[in-house]
Amino acid sequence: NDEFLSRVIALESASNHPLAKAVVRDGRSRMLEVNGIPEVSNSEAIQGKGISGNVKGELISIGNLELYDQSGGVPDDIKQKVLDLEKEGKTVMLVKNDKEFSGILGLMDTPRMAASSTLEKLKKIGIKKMIMLTGDNQEVANAVAKQIGITQAYGSLLPEEKVERINQLKKEEKKIAMIGDGVNDAPAMANSTVGIAMGAAGSDVALETADIALMADKLEILPFAIALSRKAQQIVKQNLWISLGVVALLLPATIFGWANIGIAVVFHEGSTLVVVLNALRLLGFKDKYSNM
């Protein structure tokens, strides 16, 4: 009903988690009266587990089974409903007020439309190993991974467990890039070689932690960002060789009198112009996979 939805939306509005945003968006579409969303106070995010806060003077919490297993447990009938929903590939959250559980939220994760094609592009530019790390349950992780073509997926991970997984991968691979958009992804991004945040949809913490921010909520620009980074590195190396080469030629030529100061200055400034023009090529960069 609207009263239940209004309290859920109020509390989830205080969270930056992608699932919370989905609940707010869908919840509003189901309400008959969208102007009746109450204020929430003293909201507290419990990383990897849920959120709590006061709504209309009542303490409300929304979270996963693990949150409530640590605070008195969950009745067997409710726990069974949660397990049944999880077997269907849903991410399940329980809603509880001061006295009792008042509802169950079941969310089905659907991959972005561009997810599969983006992964194919990443493979074509040389990214061979891709792994999914998620706080959603393992059944959801497996279902989504199968849809988009990822062979390794790890579910039910808390933020610190994502960090442990990243650290383990760093021992196996030379360089690790972590792409995320939520508060729960930030610690893992900080521990990876390169952290990449989805800029438009990402939380403030994720954006502050990331080394790279994609300034649009489009996963398909990730291959372009990688290709652009590689091209920038290539041009930096070219410019270094140009600069060092000119200096290596002009220095002995000037010392031994083979070239006067005027000619040396002209060549030096000319090389600077060449370096600038070479760098400007990045402004028109297009990789061959951009429009595929």
Q: What share of the chain is helix, strand, coil (3-state, %, to 5)?
A: 50, 20, 30
Structure token pair of residue 238? 């070219």
Confidence band, pLDDT 50/70/90 cuts, at residue 229:
very high
Chain centre to alpha carbon of residue 144: 16
Element (H, E) at 137: none
Across 30-50, average pLDDT: 81
pLDDT at 292: 47
Confidence (pLDDT) at 289: 58
Confidence label for 139 from pLDDT (cuts 50, 70 and 90): confident
pLDDT digits (tens, 9 = 90+) for 69-99: 876 688 889 999 998 888 887 889 999 998 8
Mean pLDDT of 121-146: 90
**How wide is the angle at C-alpha 22 spanned by C-alphas 91 and 56, nearest 5°?**
100
Whether 290 has a pLDDT exceeding 60, the answer reads no
| pLDDT of 240 higher than 70 | yes
Note the CATH number of domain 2-108.
3.40.1110.10
CA distances from 15 to 21, 63, 96, 195, 290 (A): 8, 12, 17, 22, 34
pLDDT at 257: 83
Q: What's the predicted TM-score (pTM) here?
A: 0.72
The CATH number of the structural domain formed by 115-222 is 3.40.50.1000
Residue range 185-203, pLDDT digits in tens: 889 999 999 999 886 655 6
